[in-house]
Amino acid sequence: MLRPVPHALFDPLIHEPTRLQLCGLLVDEEEVEFAALRERLELAESALSKHLSALRAAGYVTVERRFGAGHGRAYAALTDRGRHAFCGHVAELQRLARVAAPRGRRHTA
């Protein structure tokens, strides 16, 4: 099934560097374990929790805790809304990069 192309829209919540990386790690995955995200982003547990909470408050991610074998693990996933917002943000960054790219050499005297 083809997904609709998101409208290019700058999203200041996603643009924060750690949240941009976090969304980038989640966008192609069904879910990612909290510990794997923490390791990949090289963040303290509390810092990762804070970023996930901000994204969760916007409806961009879900965090699910599962218990088994005597311990619990948390998993994060982008929601459809979060995936759409992230892809729209990336599309806007690409648009801005095209606008800023030189269109050939200009000669100045």
DSSP letter assigned to residue 6: P
- The per-residue pLDDT for range 4-26, each reduced to its tens digit, is 556 889 999 999 999 999 999 99
DSSP letter assigned to residue 76: E
The structural domains of the chain, ordered by start, are: 12-95 (1.10.10.10)
Range of weakest confidence among 45-49, 50-54, 99-103: 99-103
Please, where are the H alpha helices in 1-109?
A: 12-15, 17-26, 34-41, 45-57, 80-100
Residue predicted with more confidence, 3 or 71: 71
Q: Model-level pTM greater than 0.75?
A: yes
- The per-residue pLDDT for range 49-58, each reduced to its tens digit, is 999 999 999 9
